[in-house]
């Protein structure tokens, strides 16, 4: 839309300028509306990502514990 307004400025300056200003206003309103909508969900997204991080750490911990148990069972008869 802003490109259309700029192109229209070449043929009819006042109409093109009005279209450019109108498109800037519409873009601003849409931007702030969606920013407000996304901000409502940011806290939820933050909590969800924290839960995923904790799950990832727990899975890494379980894998480490599993490997430790396997190695302990394999080398249980060895005396270091």
The sign of the torsion formed by the CA atoms of 48, 54, 55, 56 equals positive
Note whether residue 33 is domain-resident: yes
- Which structural domain, as residue segments, surrounds residue 58? 2-74
In the chain, the number of structural domains is 1
- Supply the Cα-derived Rg of the chain in whole angstroms: 30
pLDDT greater than 90 at residue 30? yes
Q: Encoding tokens for residue 17? A: 């300028």
pTM given for the model = 0.45
Q: State the chain's mean pLDDT as an integer.
A: 77
Note whether residue 23 is domain-resident: yes
Note whether residue 80 is domain-resident: no
- Once rounded to an integer, what is the mean pLDDT over residues 31-41? 85
* DSSP code per residue over 7-64: HHHHH-HHHHHHHHHHHHHHHHHHHHHHHHHHHHHHHHHHHHHHHHHHHHHHHHHHHH
- Once rounded to an integer, what is the mean pLDDT over residues 15-28? 84
Note whether residue 79 is domain-resident: no
């Amino acid at each position: 839309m802003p490109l259309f307004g700029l192109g229209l400025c070449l043929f009819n300056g006042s109409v093109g300028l009005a279209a450019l200003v109108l498109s800037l206003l519409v873009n601003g309103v849409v931007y702030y509306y969606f920013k407000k909508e996304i901000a409502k969900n940011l806290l939820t997204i933050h909590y969800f990502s924290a839960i995923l991080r904790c799950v990832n750490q727990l899975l890494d911990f379980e894998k480490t514990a599993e490997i430790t148990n396997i190695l302990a069972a394999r080398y249980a008869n060895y005396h270091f």
